[in-house]
Amino acid sequence: MATGPDAADTMSARCDFSYRHYRELVAAILGSGHEITPLGEYQRVPGKVCLWRHDVDFCLRTALEHAHLDHEVGVRATFFVRVHAPSYNILSAESARTLAEMAGLGHEIGLHTEPMFHLQRGRDPNVELHADVRLLSAAVGAEVRAVARHQPARFPAQVADEERYLSAYGPALESFQYFSDSRGLWVRGCPCTQADRHPRLHLLTHPIWWSEGGDSWDERISAVAGSVLGALEQEFSSYRESVRAARDRVEPSAPG
Ligand SMILES: [Zn+2]
Ligand SMILES: [Zn+2]
């Protein structure tokens, strides 16, 4: 992938991770004549194109909020979701509703592949990939075609990615200028000032870093962790109440 200029030259004071600046970023890219598409659709655009993806590492609820923000500003993107995430369950009823809602907003759902998960269990990620795609396709209720690796630096190219699927790291995208907000940093500078220079853009944003007020990276980790843990606490709290009610209904048996 092509590299960009130094970050220091391409960031302005307004380049924070607020929803306000997210809207400005989208406006800058649309203003430079790019069509913004999910990964699965960039090939139909003959001219300037910006494929936009979000990697959902920790929380589908946070991603859904971002899906609505995208919808509000006219962006359809690919949301890459994990099937082995410790912090969300892709097969839960809430996830099914969330994925359907995202799709209803015009977004594409892709598989955020986890080769390290399979390697650590002594399995071949290139084989397990197909099972993961089938699992996510069943959860989404449609065929998943787009794949993007979680922690791509830790695992070299996954050959199976390109054989059957549209891969975010495949050779077809090497001519795209890539910008990522990984770790809450635009290491190649914020793309809002650079869209004009690149007819083909590949933007990766993570919903975890963005918020209404542009909170800091550590505040955002706390906020998303709080959301995930809050939902779990609610589940256990309602379980506690149901157990208490059931136990209260049972007459204690007489001893002996
Ligand atoms: Zn910016
Ligand atoms: Zn990831």
CA distance 223 to 220: 5
Query: In this structure, which long-range contacts are made by residues 141-146, counting pairs with CB atoms below 8 Å and at least 24 apart in sequence?
Result: 141/100, 142/103, 142/109, 144/109, 144/110, 144/111, 145/40, 145/110, 146/38, 146/39, 146/40, 146/78, 146/80, 146/108, 146/110, 146/111
**pLDDT over 80 at 5, yes or no:** no
**What spacing in Å lies between the alpha carbon of 232 and ligand 1's midpoint?**
35
**What spacing in Å lies between the alpha carbon of 11 and ligand 1's midpoint?**
6
Average pLDDT, the chain: 92
| Structural domain range at position 48 | 16-248
Q: Per the domain annotation, does 108 fall within a domain?
A: yes
CA distance 70 to 39: 15
**pLDDT over 80 at 217, yes or no:** yes
Q: What percent of the chain has pLDDT over 70?
A: 90
| pLDDT band, very low/low/confident/very high, at 1 (cuts 50, 70, 90) | very low
| pLDDT band, very low/low/confident/very high, at 256 (cuts 50, 70, 90) | low
| pLDDT band, very low/low/confident/very high, at 13 (cuts 50, 70, 90) | low
**What spacing in Å lies between the alpha carbon of 113 and ligand 2's midpoint?**
8
**What spacing in Å lies between the alpha carbon of 253 and ligand 1's midpoint?**
69
Residues in the 5 Å CB sphere of ion ligand 2:
55, 57, 150
pLDDT of amino acid 156: 65
Q: What is the mean pLDDT of residues 109-117?
A: 95
pLDDT of amino acid 154: 77
**HSE-up (13 A, CA, CB side) for residue 120:** 7
Q: Per the domain annotation, does 188 fall within a domain?
A: yes
Q: Per the domain annotation, does 85 fall within a domain?
A: yes
pTM of the model: 0.91
CA distance 41 to 210: 25
**What spacing in Å lies between the alpha carbon of 12 and ligand 1's midpoint?**
6
pLDDT of amino acid 163: 74
Q: What are the backbone dihedrals phi and psi of residue 149, each rounded to the nearest 5 degrees, phi first?
A: -75, 140
Of the listed ligands, the closest to the CA of 194 is: 1
CA distance 65 to 207: 8
**HSE-up (13 A, CA, CB side) for residue 15:** 19
60-70 residue pLDDT tens: 999 999 999 99
Q: How many domains does the chain have?
A: 1
Q: Per the domain annotation, does 161 fall within a domain?
A: yes
**What spacing in Å lies between the alpha carbon of 191 and ligand 1's midpoint?**
6
More confident position, 252 or 18: 18
Burial (0-12, 13-18, 19+ Cβ within 10 Å), 19 = middle
Q: Per the domain annotation, does 143 fall within a domain?
A: yes
Residue type, 184: G
More confident position, 199 or 256: 199
CA distance 136 to 138: 5
CATH number at residue 117: 3.20.20
Q: In terms of Cα–Cα distance, which of 69, 61, 53 is closest to 98?
A: 61
Of the listed ligands, the closest to the CA of 80 is: 2
More confident position, 186 or 252: 186
Q: Per the domain annotation, does 65 fall within a domain?
A: yes
**What spacing in Å lies between the alpha carbon of 134 and ligand 1's midpoint?**
37
pLDDT of amino acid 4: 45
Of the listed ligands, the closest to the CA of 188 is: 1
118-168 residue pLDDT tens: 999 999 988 999 999 999 999 999 999 999 999 887 776 666 667 789 999
**What spacing in Å lies between the alpha carbon of 190 and ligand 1's midpoint?**
4
**What spacing in Å lies between the alpha carbon of 249 and ligand 1's midpoint?**
60
**What spacing in Å lies between the alpha carbon of 112 and ligand 2's midpoint?**
7
